[in-house]
Amino acid sequence: MSLRKFLLVVLLLFPFLALGGEMGNIPSKLTFEVYVSDKPTVMFQMFRPILDAAQEFISKELGQPIQIELLISADYEGTIEDLIRGKVDMARVGPASYVTIKEKEPGTSILAMELVGGKKEFDGYVITRKNSTIQTLADLKGKSFAFGDSFSTIGRYLPQALLVQAGIRSKDLKKMEYVDRHDKVATGVLNGDFDAGAIKEETFAKFESQGEGLRKVHTLKNVTKPWLAKKGLSSDLVAGMKKFLLQLKDPTMLKNLDNSSGFTLGSDADFEPIRRSMKISQGF
């Protein structure tokens, strides 16, 4: 074959070669990871229906079957490290976890952010028992406090930043402990193991009337959870998952997702308040 004919054949085949190469970069199986903010069985019930719907949607969008495996990590740190190292393709994390991930792997991208009541913000609370004498943050000096996971936004960073601003450090507490999950914080306070703790509003609503009951001491302003894609994930998969999340309106699926009202686009700037709180909390 002459050089001219060879070049002509390459030029004629180029669109097909390019298409084949791009599709070849799209894996048929993806992994999506969450960490336990509740019991693992509850987490599975929350996310499996959404991922099933995402599989169907993205498969139609790309014209090829896509499977998404759900992984549930035992702790926040596991999911953070798995996404940074590219061991999982996508993950749903808390705001503080996102800040940590983005700092260590800037190539991580935001697929979308959850909405609560149509907003990117929601509340958490510093809580105590209804019959407690604690009324303000200042009253926590000399008391015991239950934090959630050591990587949790509401469970750790936001309340510790507020305590620092109120003039309270760890040495000023009678006892403090990280108990991993919001539900464990709530039951720890209800059972009298701790005088106070920090939990998300969903957990407060669930446990508020149990036993002696819970009461709010202070409101924690938080931003909603982002869904992330690892660095280097196929742009077609990123676009497909992003499109799926932004159009998701199913009320049952969204209710299972901490009463989310949907998804919206997110940016790194949305998490700047969390970065500031994390820096302040270093003084705790």
**Residue 199 dihedral angles phi and psi, to the nearest 5°:** -140, 160
Residue 129: per-residue pLDDT: 97
CA distance 53 to 219: 35
Residue 142: per-residue pLDDT: 97
Q: How far apart are the first and last CA of the chain?
A: 75
Would you mind telling me the total number of residues written for the chain in this entry? 284
Q: Quick one: CA torsion of 161, 166, 172, 175, rounded to 10 degrees?
A: -60
Residue 91: per-residue pLDDT: 98
CATH fold of 11-116+225-270: D-Maltodextrin-Binding Protein; domain 2 (3.40.190)
CA distance 62 to 28: 11
Task: Decide the pairing of beta strands 109-115 and 226-229.
Answer: antiparallel
CATH number of 121-223: 3.40.190.10
Residue 256: per-residue pLDDT: 80
Residue 75: per-residue pLDDT: 87
What pLDDT tens digit does each residue of the chain (284 aa) get?
Answer: 443 333 333 333 333 333 333 344 688 899 999 987 777 888 898 899 999 999 999 999 999 999 999 999 988 899 999 999 999 999 999 999 999 999 999 999 999 999 999 999 999 999 999 999 999 999 999 999 999 999 999 999 999 999 999 999 999 999 999 998 899 999 999 999 999 999 999 899 999 999 989 999 999 999 999 999 999 999 999 999 999 999 999 998 998 887 799 999 999 999 999 999 999 999 99
Ranges for all domains in the chain classified under CATH 3.40.190.10:
11-116+225-270, 121-223
CA distance 276 to 284: 14
Residue 39: per-residue pLDDT: 77
